[in-house]
């Protein structure tokens, strides 16, 4: 500690405790408060199951962003770690059930703690798979992640004794010791389980970004070459972050195992791997909270829009493309920009500009939806009738309306952005 006295009059650069509170602790407290208040509103079963799915996806999407946003690693196979974590937890759940009849050490493990097993499973998978894949970032890493996802998913369908074949494996969560007096029977009790582990995941992953390893991950993302010249091995940094990220994905998998009581090899495949990429990217990979927002929005869309329209994946794709092209900060970046725009001086003209542009974008998007739904209704037979107005595919008027919205909106965007630019 002798250095401390050698530099008298040193400037303290650390943020003040007030700054720390508003930028770090306050958002977390608000988030936790919302989670605690929700049950007081008496949510329905459907609402609970949506909330539980959101909690799982929040942890999953944040774990994905440890790679993409924080360390610059683009993975197409992140569901592998989620899925293997879920399988680990699922086997644990079955072992707990077996132990509740014939005893054994598994009887000491509460089902509530199974996400720990999920974490271990995901981290172990990360340690094994990360070894060959973390040599390089960039295209080789992305391609290897894709290949491994294919490989593991295929293996999942082949090794029936471990993965349960197409039906997967299921278990019963109402066995063994109860933690916090929760039987985990009713979905409202599972909610508390999800809340607990979501908060652990969020806090844990946020804390990780503030460790020396987390910071060097960001350095590797920015400039892996220079990292070598400050004493760090970028390959080692990537590998360690990869293991941690696999662990948190596995934690989400463990939450999912307890929540759904079933896991299939499907969950290891490219489909959920793509979905987690969308959640993180659409939410905003540049911000810690971006993927959290993305998980909320996309899980909500998945459960609501998929009933409403067959074409929802198409809209999701459009949304993704629009964000990649025009708003690389994602939804969170937009929210943040909007909030800053209100606070800064001269807010009125800026808000008018944004309002006008958003309105034009919405009109365009309405045109896209209208045309898509009318086209879909040709084969499905269900006439698309927004607000009670039937728009049959046979009527030229339906198509004309869609085109008018699309072209009018597109023209307005062009016109407005040119006018505001000058």
Binding residues for another protein, rule: CB under 8 A, are: 1, 3-4, 7, 10-14, 20, 207-208, 210-216, 218-219, 221-223, 225-233, 236-237, 240, 244
Minimum CB separation of residue 327 from another protein in Å reads 18
Minimum CB distance to another protein smaller for 226 or for 382: 226
Minimum CB separation of residue 239 from another protein in Å reads 10
Minimum CB distance to another protein smaller for 135 or for 353: 135
Minimum CB distance to another protein smaller for 102 or for 225: 225
How far, in Å, are 83, 291, 396 from residue 144 at the CA level? 18, 23, 49
Q: Where are the alpha helices (DSSP H) in 210-289?
A: 212-222, 224-228, 234-260, 270-283
Look up residue 387 and give its DSSP letter: G
3-state helix, strand, coil in the chain (%, to 5): 80, 0, 20
Minimum CB separation of residue 120 from another protein in Å reads 16
Minimum CB separation of residue 125 from another protein in Å reads 18
Minimum CB separation of residue 213 from another protein in Å reads 4
Minimum CB distance to another protein smaller for 285 or for 401: 285
Minimum CB distance to another protein smaller for 66 or for 370: 66
Minimum CB separation of residue 65 from another protein in Å reads 14
Minimum CB distance to another protein smaller for 87 or for 239: 239
Cβ atoms of residues 257 and 118 within 8 Å = yes
Name 169's bridge partners.
263
Dig out the tokens for 144 from the structure. 């290897």
Minimum CB distance to another protein smaller for 245 or for 377: 245
Dig out the tokens for 274 from the structure. 């793509």
Q: Give one DSSP letter per residue of 25-43, joined into a string.
A: IHHHHHHHHHHHHGGGG--
Minimum CB separation of residue 121 from another protein in Å reads 19
Cβ atoms of residues 279 and 61 within 8 Å = yes
Cβ atoms of residues 69 and 286 within 8 Å = yes
Q: Which residues of 297-314 are buried (b: 16+ CB within 10 A; e: fewer)?
A: bbbebbeebeeebbbeee
Minimum CB separation of residue 60 from another protein in Å reads 20
Minimum CB separation of residue 127 from another protein in Å reads 14
Dig out the tokens for 106 from the structure. 């598994």
Minimum CB distance to another protein smaller for 225 or for 346: 225
Q: How many CB atoms are located within 10 Å of the residue 365 CB? A: 17
Rounded to whole angstroms, how far apart are CA atoms 219 and 213? 10
Minimum CB separation of residue 28 from another protein in Å reads 15
Rounded to whole angstroms, how far apart are CA atoms 193 and 235? 36
Minimum CB distance to another protein smaller for 20 or for 378: 20
Q: How far apart are the first and last CA of the chain?
A: 58
Rounded to whole angstroms, how far apart are CA atoms 29 and 312? 34
Rounded to whole angstroms, how far apart are CA atoms 240 and 244? 6
* Distant-in-sequence, close-in-space partners of 202: CB < 8 Å, separation ≥ 6: 28, 31, 58, 59, 62, 292
Minimum CB distance to another protein smaller for 27 or for 39: 27
Minimum CB distance to another protein smaller for 11 or for 343: 11
Minimum CB separation of residue 73 from another protein in Å reads 15
Cβ atoms of residues 87 and 163 within 8 Å = yes
List, in sequence order, every beta strand (DSSP E) within 84-212.
Answer: 169-170
Q: Is 394 helix (H, G, I), strand (E, B) or coil?
A: coil
């Amino acid at each position: 500690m002798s250095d401390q006295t050698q530099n008298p009059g040193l400037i303290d650069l650390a943020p003040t405790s007030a700054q720390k509170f508003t930028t770090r602790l306050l958002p977390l407290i608000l988030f936790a408060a919302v989670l605690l208040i929700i049950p007081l509103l008496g949510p329905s079963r459907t609402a609970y199951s949506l909330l539980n799915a959101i909690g799982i996806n929040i942890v999953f999407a944040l774990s994905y962003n440890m790679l993409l946003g924080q360390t610059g690693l683009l993975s197409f196979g992140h569901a592998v770690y989620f899925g293997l974590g879920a399988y680990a937890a699922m086997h644990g759940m079955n072992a707990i059930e077996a132990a509740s009849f014939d005893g054994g050490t598994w009887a000491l493990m509460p089902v509530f703690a199974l996400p720990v097993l999920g974490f271990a499973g995901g981290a172990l998978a990360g340690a094994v798979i990360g070894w060959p894949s973390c040599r390089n970032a960039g295209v080789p890493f992305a391609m290897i992640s894709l290949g491994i996802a294919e490989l593991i998913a295929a293996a999942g369908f082949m090794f029936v004794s471990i993965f349960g074949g197409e039906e997967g494996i299921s278990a019963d969560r109402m066995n063994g010791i109860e933690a916090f007096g929760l039987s985990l029977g009713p979905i409202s009790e599972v909610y508390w389980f999800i809340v607990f582990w979501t908060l652990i995941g969020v806090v844990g992953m946020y804390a990780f970004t503030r460790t020396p390893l987390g910071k060097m991950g960001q350095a590797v993302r920015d400039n892996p070459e220079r990292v070598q010249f400050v004493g760090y091995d970028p390959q080692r940094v990537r590998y360690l972050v990869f293991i941690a990220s696999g662990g948190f994905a596995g934690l989400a998998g463990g939450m999912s195992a307890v929540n759904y009581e079933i896991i299939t090899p499907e969950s290891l495949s490219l489909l959920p791997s793509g979905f987690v990429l969308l959640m993180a990217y659409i939410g905003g990979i540049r911000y810690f909270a971006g993927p959290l927002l993305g998980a909320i929005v996309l899980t909500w869309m998945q459960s609501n829009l998929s009933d409403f329209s067959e074409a929802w994946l198409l809209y999701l794709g459009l949304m993704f493309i629009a964000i990649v092209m025009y708003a690389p900060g994602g939804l969170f970046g937009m929210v943040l920009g909007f909030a800053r725009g209100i606070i800064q001086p001269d807010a009125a003209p800026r808000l008018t500009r944004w309002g006008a542009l958003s309105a034009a974008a919405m009109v365009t998007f309405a045109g896209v939806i209208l045309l898509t739904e009318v086209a879909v209704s040709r084969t499905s037979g269900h006439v698309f009738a927004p607000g009670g107005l039937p728009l049959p595919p046979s009527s030229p008027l339906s198509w004309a309306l869609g085109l008018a919205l699309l072209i009018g909106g597109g023209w307005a965007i062009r016109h407005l952005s040119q006018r505001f630019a000058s």
